[in-house]
Amino acid sequence: MKVVAFAATNSSKSINKQLVSYAVSFVEDAEVEILDLNDFELPLFSEDREAELGQPQLAKDFLAKLAGADAIVVSFAEHNGSYTAAYKNLFDWSSRITREVYAHKPMVLLATSPGPGGAQRVLATAESALGFFAGEVKATLSVPRFHDNFDIEAGELTNPELKAQLADVMNILAAQGEKAA
């Protein structure tokens, strides 16, 4: 089974990248590719730019990575209650190429933040929207107070309840991804 995972941010110190990298370790015997949105940086989307540039190769490359997966894991950073600009821009370019951005792949959506909200607002937005873009959301998990619940040095959750919940959602994904493989 091939799993493609990414943090929906371009931050080099992203706690969501740490979370998604840890989460995929729960999927045994999987080929895992962790994408960095910095590798898909595009000019700010507008219809004028689209008319000028057409369909950028980097957006096509991102779509090809998603289409080549058996399952997808995304951890959403929250900026002012919404998607990061980096993710939203790449998503906008990609969705102009095909509305089926997530290619009917089983998905787990994660989110974390330093605060008690755990980026739940952006997670709820993503969960409600991705079905329209061919995302088959199988489970979600918000991790509040990242720095209190995650050991950076060990690279793992320290909160046993959250760790068990993450294992559960990743097991759901593994079962769905194996069916798709």
Read off the pLDDT of each residue in 159-165 and give the average, rounded to a whole number. 97
CA 10 to centroid of chain Cα atoms: 12
pLDDT at position 181 over 90: no
Q: Closest Cα to residue 107, out of 69, 78, 144? A: 69
Residue 176, pLDDT score: 83
pTM score: 0.96
The yes/no answer on whether domain 2-180 falls in CATH 3.40.50.360 is yes
161-165 average pLDDT score? 98
Asked if 119 contacts 81 with a C-beta cutoff of 8 angstroms, the reply is no
User: pLDDT tens-digit profile of 36-92?
Assistant: 999 999 999 999 999 999 999 999 999 999 999 999 999 999 999 999 999 999 999
Domain coordinates in residue numbering, the chain: 2-180
Q: Which residues contact 151 (CB under 8 A, 6 or more apart)?
A: 157, 158
Residue-wise pLDDT tens digits, 87-131: 999 999 999 999 999 999 999 999 999 999 999 999 999 999 999
Residues 16-22: what's their mean pLDDT? 98
